[in-house]
Structure 1
């Protein structure tokens, strides 16, 4: 049974690398837009801010450290939220490109996809009537023939290199097998509790959005790690965002929202800012008598090194 007296961490993924600007005019793409939306999301109650970068000229995903530097330090200066930098980047980036900024920043947290997989939203292309930029159509349609790569060696190297700087991880698990991949690294001694497991539902190539799948992921993680050793969180893609993350809290977990995961606030209504989604889930959680974790709470719950040990 869920403990309503515990604190729930809200993560907010600001822009990602999957959605394209033609899907929403509100998707932040410039450093200023990413900065402002991240700060507003933190002020609304997000304890963790998950960040990707985009080329400000046309919104395409970029691993450029210079572009990250144009907004990450400003976010850190304006808020005490935990800064979580992607190591996933996009399916078009090499591992070296994906690690370029995390190596420099040595952040408190990085996301880490727990396996290679088919990862696609290519069916969405048929629903877009007008493309804002020339690169977008090929990018979305091309996902049908792309694989996101994170081999066991890739994961091990990320854990060793970034972990040596005290960075901890948002372990993104898109399927049950990813939990077993995580268990492998626990057995190797490369991952120690408390783990932060982000279960992802609704991406083509991973687990679907059936509520039963969440129970499978939760119970499997309990069996592999012991509930006392990890924090569970849920990311629901698209229209499934709010129902699934609410279910996560009820099952004793945490929640992630943001325009990376869904460009909508409700059916047929696009979110104009990330903060709108944060405010909505915060209201739902507080009406269910859950307390929202502050950044200080999140750092304690996840065993983070602290913002003062980061070189953003």
Structure 2
């Protein structure tokens, strides 16, 4: 029997953390990203979260011209909600980070709500004897000195400039202090309800994976935002399905996809993002939870497709 509550599934199809050596199935080219995005939408995802990669070597890129073929193909083919990242590498300028969102005017853009510094990622280098591209190894070796800045100025400008096109923000909260940052920008009148809160568990430099942390984040969000927010959960790697299931039983939406996790089962790589979406959809269905369509998700999140640009 259905509970009557709708759960929004987001699929983050490629991201910027995983590299081509780590999985042959990771989408790299615009054509691969579009194909996997459409497949994920057909499998039940209401939102597709976009990053772009250089099609020659898989290196993450903020270039709107690289985004364009995938975004255009998905818009021609699907009613799915498009969510474009505003994050970027440690050396990316703000102009680089928001360029794609400014050009494509998506209904939704992700926004990291505080600065982060990754810990321990250099240890990934020892897991692979050979790397397809030199930049992959260099990416991980440089992790101990890397900071991903999200200062008050960066967040303010992102909200004002990207939000001027009608885009709403999915607030990425990697730790409890980031929830208070959302409240700060809400008090300043820059973020409007319903707030879209994505709580991120288990990423280096952020809050851990323990169950009490999820309860704590939910309790703080309830205190700060009352009923004026939509909550979603994501977690990396082998923890993805477990934490998403836990969150869904507590009232959250969920995010899966190869940005966060390359595997479907222990030791078995996911061959597509659609496989991950289908897996979490099956789990949610077994829990008697209904899956939100894109239009239902728009209503829940306070989105409007009317402003979308080409």
* Mapping of residues 238-249 of structure 1, within 5 Å: 238-249=237-248
CA distance in 2, matches of 1:231, 1:122: 34
Deviation at 1:96, TM superposition (A): 1.3
Q: CA-to-partner distance for each residue in 1:192-223, whole Å, 9 max, x for gaps?
A: 11111000111111111111111111010000
How many residues in Structure 1 have an aligned counterpart in Structure 2? Answer: 308
Is 1:278 equivalent to 2:266 in the alignment? no
Displacement of 1:4 in angstroms is: 2.8
1:104 Cα deviation (Å)? 1.1
Q: Does structure 2 retain, via aligned residues, the 8 Å contact 1:202–1:238?
A: no
Task: Judge conservation of contact 1:37–1:274 (CA < 8 Å) in 2.
Answer: yes
Other-structure match for 1:93: 92
Deviations 1:60-104 (A, max 9, x none): 000111101121011111110000000013334222111111111
Distance 1:265 1:93 in 2: 32
Structure 1: 5+ residue stretches without partners: none
Which residue of structure 2 lines up, in the alignment, with residue 74 of structure 1?
73
- Within-5 A mapping of 1:144-155: 144-155=144-155
Question: TM-score when scaled to structure 2?
Answer: 0.97
**Match of residue 197 from structure 2:** 197
Tell me the SS of whatever aligns to 2:142.
helix
1:97-112 to structure 2, matched below 5 A, reads 97-112=96-111
Give the match's secondary structure for 2:300.
helix
CA distance in 2, matches of 1:125, 1:205: 19
Match of 1:13 in 2: 12
Alignment of 1:296-307 (within 5 A): 296-306=295-305
The match for 1:174 is 174
Q: Is the 8 A contact 1:52 1:89 kept in 2?
A: no
**Deviation string, structure 1 residues 222-277 (Cα, Å, up to 9, x no partner):** 00110x10011001111100000011100101000000000011111110100000
**Correspondence for 2:116:** 117
Counterparts of 1:207 and 1:122, CA distance in 2: 19
Q: Output the CA distance in 1 between the equivalents of 2:180 and 2:240.
A: 25
2:156 maps to 156
Structure 1 distance, partners of 2:128, 2:219, is 38
RMSD over aligned CA atoms reads 1.1
1:139 aligns with 2:139: yes
TM-score normalised to the size of structure 1? 0.97
CA drift at 1:26: 0.7
8 Å CA contact 1:198, 1:234 repeated in 2: yes
Distance in 1 of aligned mates of 2:206 and 2:148: 12
Q: CA deviation at 1:305?
A: 1.8
Contact 2:240–2:256 (CA<8 Å) still a contact in 1?
Answer: yes
CA apart distance, 1:309 = 1.8
| Bigger Cα displacement from structure 2, 289-298 vs 188-197 | 188-197
- State the Cα deviation string for residues 279-312 of structure 1 (Å, max 9, x = none): 0000000010000000001100011121x42113
Task: Determine whether 1:208 maps to 2:208.
Answer: yes
Residue 140 (structure 1) shift: 1.5
Q: 1:292 corresponds to which residue?
A: 291
In structure 1, the residue matched to 2:187 is 187
